[in-house]
Amino acid sequence: MFLLIQETEYSCVIKLPSAEFARICRDLSQFGESIVISCTKEGVKFSAAGDIGTANIKLAQTATVDKEEDAVMVDMQEPVTLTFACKYLNMFTKATPLSPQVCLSMSPDVPLVVEYKIEDIGHIRYYLAPRIGDEDN
């Protein structure tokens, strides 16, 4: 059995260095089991909260960079805020060595797409449904 995934126009598409995304997921997993990703016209914010406190990491779109793979690009049609399980995001980041950049595509109430483009081969796409309500795991 397999799940058919429709092509979707996403409300927010974020491109950032894959190593930076891996670091953010790793660091925020120390604070809680969930990461909240908020995309606004100011940029993207990753946050987590838990017993030891809260952590926020904000990335603004970069104006100019020497190398394209070091850029942070945010293409937003509408603001989106979704919550995801750290456990799975950290599993996805194991693909970091395969690509210098990662693309996160988000829309309300649809799975997050985490895409690593692999030069001359293709891509790896992971899909992760957002957490709904007050789920514990």
Distance separating alpha carbons of residues 22 and 100, to the nearest angstrom: 11
The predicted model gives 78-92 an average pLDDT of 96
The fold of 12-128 is Proliferating Cell Nuclear Antigen (3.70.10)
Q: How far apart are CA 86 and CA 94, in angstroms?
A: 13
Stretch 79-102: mean pLDDT, rounded? Answer: 96
Strands 80-85 and 12-17, by their bridges, are: unpaired
What does DSSP say about strands 43-50 and 122-128: parallel, antiparallel, or unpaired? unpaired
CA distance 105 to 103: 6
pLDDT band at 39 (very low <50, low <70, confident <90, very high): very high
Q: 3-class SS at 37?
A: strand
Cα 111 from Cα 97, distance rounded (Å): 24
Q: For the chain, what is the mean pLDDT?
A: 90
pLDDT-based confidence at residue 3 (cuts at 50, 70, 90): low
Pair 39, 12: CB distance under 8 Å: yes
Whole-number pLDDT of residue 128: 96
Tokens 């909240």 map to which residue?
36
At residue 4, the pLDDT reads 61
CA distance 99 to 122: 11
Mean pLDDT on 63-80: 86
Domain boundaries, the chain: 12-128
**Whole-angstrom distance, CA of residue 32 vs CA of residue 22:** 16
How confident is residue 132, by pLDDT bands cut at 50, 70 and 90? confident
Residue 46 · residue 73 · CB < 8 Å: no
